[in-house]
């Protein structure tokens, strides 16, 4: 597997990018950058009778059956604890599983296997260092300890200092170093490491994709486009290259190019469900809800255990005015993951749009109980209480928020101050950021919350004018946009 991007609408009031990455290029990808597994027959201390099991274990690993690979390696190592190839393969399988499952214990056992493989097989086996580095980097992210990633960088530098490490092996080590630097948010150094890997081995797919990804993280869109386009030239039939470049186009508001790249990715790999989900998201943002919903439904058919397309299809249904269908999709997400705070928040939005304010409050409360960092729900909680005739109680419940010093207030705090009556509508609008990336979205939210306050006060005409302002922003992913849409009863028609 290679690095892949997945765009996710993590909530109705904000967008977020989620990476699902298998960045461990010591896995044999059946591509030009594939490192060779050491041949155990060259080591007289190993039992040649295990060759068939080793081959089976590696085949399981290549197919993504990491558990099966681990079990076969366990059999080999029970009979021969010094089979360093089996240790290496088991290390790789355990680290892969540890990453996917966010399991620190698996990562640590994989790291220890890698150490043992190096002890038994010798430090000249450069590939054995790769799962060790990847495992330490993964542990860094899981435990929030950058010092683990720093160890990966130190190990990489020590291996790179050897004059005998060249070509593909050297590129793989640079690649692991880059991953560790990204984990430490040392993006410029990571970019340099990716570039070094490409210079040593131009056909290193992971480094080319990683370079583009890291430019995106660094906010360098032109450089990211150059990197992805160079990757497409080097790997014109690789679906992930087009998927990742499509993500860049989606982020930089180039929907037609994004849709074209996602479509190309799907043509190259019909099983790349992530590209279909991404195309659906791009189509939804472009206003083509019929095609978007078709993509999400197809994605659900292809991968029914993935909650993401259910949530995105719900977004389409909301924009169509199908609140019942949207809620059914969000409930499906919760059924898959009852501790998903974003899904609970989304259920709250649907209930709010349907004027079930107590039900909305229950769902919002459930969301923030799971994750108290979801501050964007606070104005909606306040509104629920206002709509239920509990404005004074709302002010008491959020007293700590309302009493923040002025120099600590952000946009969410300004919305809360406005709803509580402590600042005026003009003062709220004056607080809108001049940043082009925030101005329109905050303007939409200011219009919606001001409209809600007027509607609660009985000024229907004034409220409707402001709801229309919010809808005119055309920022479909915002809950404020959707709330205004429902208040006016104006939905996006089928194409």
What is d(CA 250, CA 236) in angstroms, rounded to the nearest whole number? Answer: 20
Q: Is residue 92 in a domain?
A: yes
Structure-model confidence comparison of residues 49 and 222, the more confident one: 222
- Checking if the pLDDT of 45 tops 60, the result is no
d(CA 417, CA 435): 21
Among 34-43, 168-177, 486-495, whose mean pLDDT is lowest?
34-43
Residue at 384 is within a domain: no
Which candidate, 262, 250, 181, 185, places its Cα nearest to that of 217? 185
Within-domain flag for 44: yes
Beta bridge partners of 19: 5
pLDDT digits (tens, 9 = 90+) for 233-289: 999 999 999 999 999 999 998 999 999 999 999 999 999 999 999 999 999 988 899
Is residue 50 over pLDDT 70?
yes
The pLDDT of residue 15 is 25
Angle at 15 between CA 14 and CA 21, to 5 degrees: 145
Does residue 60 contact residue 28 with C-beta atoms inside 8 Å? no
Supply angle C-alpha 391, 395, 400, rounded to 5: 165
Give the confidence band of 19 by pLDDT, cuts at 50, 70, 90: very low
- What is the DSSP-derived secondary structure letter of residue 12? T
Q: How many CA atoms lie within 13 A of 344 on its CB side?
A: 20
44 vs 181: which has the higher pLDDT: 181
- Residues 283, 295: contact at Cβ < 8 Å? yes
pLDDT at 6: 34
- The pLDDT assigned to 7 comes to 31
The 3-state secondary structure of 61-74 reads HHCCCHHHHHHHHH
Which helix (H) or strand (E) segment holds residue 167: the answer is helix 167-183
What are residue 272's phi and psi, to 5 degrees? -85, 80
More confident: 81 or 18: 81
Question: For residue 17, is pLDDT > 70?
Answer: no
List helix spans (H) across 15-121: 51-62, 66-79, 84-101, 104-121
pLDDT category at 123 given cuts 50, 70, 90 is confident
pLDDT single digits (tens) 279-317: 999 999 888 999 999 999 999 999 999 999 999 999 999
Write down the pLDDT at residue 422.
96
* pLDDT at residue 364, rounded to an integer: 97
- pLDDT of 368-409, one tens digit each? 999 999 999 999 999 999 999 999 999 999 999 999 999 999
What pLDDT, in 10s, does the model give residues 25-39? 333 333 334 444 554
CB atoms within 10 A of CB 393: 12
Single out the residue of 390, 412, 416, 415 nearest to residue 402, CA to CA.
416
CA distance 182 to 149: 9
Residue 396 lies in a domain: no
Averaged pLDDT score across all residues of the chain: 89
| Residue 273 CA to its chain's centroid (Å) | 15
- pLDDT for 1 beyond 80: no
pLDDT value of position 57? 93
What gap in Å lies between CA 150 and CA 165, rounded to an integer?
21
Q: In which band, very low, low, confident or very high, does the pLDDT at 22 lie, cut at 50, 70 and 90? A: very low
Residue 88's Cβ-count burial label (10 Å; 0-12, 13-18, 19+) is buried
What is the pLDDT, as a whole number, of residue 291? 96
pLDDT tens string 335-349 = 999 999 999 999 999
Tens digits of per-residue pLDDT, 58-83? Answer: 999 988 999 999 999 999 999 999 99
For residue 11, pLDDT over 90 is answered with no
Residue 8 predicted with pLDDT over 70: no
Q: Which helix (H) or strand (E) holds 426?
A: helix 425-430
H or E element at residue 17: strand 14-21
Helices (DSSP H) in 269-408: which residue ranges? 273-285, 289-302, 308-320, 323-336, 341-353, 357-370, 378-387, 391-397, 399-402
User: What's the CA gap between 315 and 476, in Å, rounded?
Assistant: 9
**Nearest residue to 195 via CA among 147, 219, 230:** 230
Q: Please state, in angstroms and rounded to a whole number, the distance separating the CA atoms of residues 229 and 38.
A: 34
Residues in the chain: 495
> In a 10 Å sphere around its CB, with 0-12 CB exposed, 13-18 middle and 19+ buried, how is residue 469 labelled?
middle
Residue 234 in any domain: the answer is no
Average pLDDT (177-191) is 97
Domain of residue 108, CATH code: 1.25.40.10
The parent domain of residue 49 ranges over: 26-203
Round to whole Å and give the CA distance between 135 and 117.
Answer: 14
Q: Which of 18-32, 217-231, 372-386, 476-490 bottoms out in mean pLDDT, i.e. has the lowest?
A: 18-32
* Beta pairing partners, 233: none
Has residue 14 been placed in a domain?
no
Q: Is residue 292 part of a domain?
A: no
Within-domain flag for 51: yes
Mark residue 144 as left, alpha or beta (left: phi above 0; alpha: psi -120 to 50; beta: remaining): left
Q: Into how many domains does the chain fold? A: 1
């Amino acid at each position: 597997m290679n690095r892949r991007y997945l765009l996710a609408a993590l909530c109705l009031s904000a967008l977020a990018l989620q990476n699902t990455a298998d960045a461990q290029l010591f896995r044999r990808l059946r591509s030009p950058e594939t490192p060779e597994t050491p041949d155990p027959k060259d080591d007289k201390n190993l039992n040649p009778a295990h060759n068939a099991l080793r081959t089976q274990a590696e085949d399981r690993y290549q197919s993504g059956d990491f558990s099966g690979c681990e079990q076969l390696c366990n059999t080999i190592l029970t009979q021969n604890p010094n089979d360093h190839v089996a240790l290496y393969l088991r290390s790789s399988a355990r680290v892969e599983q540890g990453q996917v499952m966010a399991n620190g214990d698996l990562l640590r056992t994989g790291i220890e296997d890698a150490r043992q493989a190096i002890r038994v097989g010798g430090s000249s086996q450069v590939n054995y260092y790769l799962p060790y580095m990847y495992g330490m980097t993964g542990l860094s992210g899981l435990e929030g300890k950058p010092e683990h990633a720093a160890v990966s960088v130190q190990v990489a530098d020590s291996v790179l200092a050897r004059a005998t490490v060249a070509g593909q092996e050297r590129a793989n080590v640079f690649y692991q170093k880059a991953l560790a630097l990204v984990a430490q948010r040392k993006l410029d150094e990571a970019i340099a490491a990716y570039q070094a890997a490409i210079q040593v081995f131009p056909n290193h797919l992971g480094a080319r994709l990683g370079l583009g990804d890291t430019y995106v993280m660094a906010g360098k869109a032109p450089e990211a486009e150059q990197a992805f386009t160079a990757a497409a030239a080097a790997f014109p039939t690789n679906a992930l290259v087009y998927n990742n470049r499509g993500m860049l186009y989606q982020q930089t508001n180039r929907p037609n190019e994004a849709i074209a790249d996602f479509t190309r990715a799907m043509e190259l790999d019909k099983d790349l469900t992530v590209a279909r989900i991404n195309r659906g998201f791009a189509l939804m943002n472009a206003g083509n809800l019929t095609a978007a919903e078709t993509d999400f439904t197809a994605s659900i058919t292809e991968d029914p255990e993935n909650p993401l397309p259910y949530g995105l299809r719900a977004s389409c249904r909301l924009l169509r005015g199908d609140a019942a269908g949207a809620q059914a999709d969000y409930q499906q997400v919760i059924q898959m993951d009852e501790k998903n705070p974003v899904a609970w928040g989304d259920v709250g939005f649907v209930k709010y749009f349907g004027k079930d304010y107590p039900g909305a409050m229950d769902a919002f409360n459930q969301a923030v109980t799971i994750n108290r960092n979801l501050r964007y729900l606070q104005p909606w909680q306040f509104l629920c209480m206002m709509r239920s005739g509990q404005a004074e109680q709302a002010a008491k419940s959020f007293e700590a928020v309302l009493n923040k010093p002025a120099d600590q207030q952000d946009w969410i705090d300004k919305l809360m101050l406005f709803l509580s009556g402590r600042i005026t509508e003009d003062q709220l609008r004056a607080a809108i950021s001049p940043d082009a990336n925030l101005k329109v979205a905050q303007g939409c939210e200011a219009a919606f919350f001001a409209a809600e306050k007027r509607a609660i006060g009985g000024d229907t005409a004034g409220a409707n004018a402001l709801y229309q302002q919010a809808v005119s922003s055309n920022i479909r992913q915002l809950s404020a946009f959707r709330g205004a849409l429902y208040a006016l009863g104006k939905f996006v028609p089928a194409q």
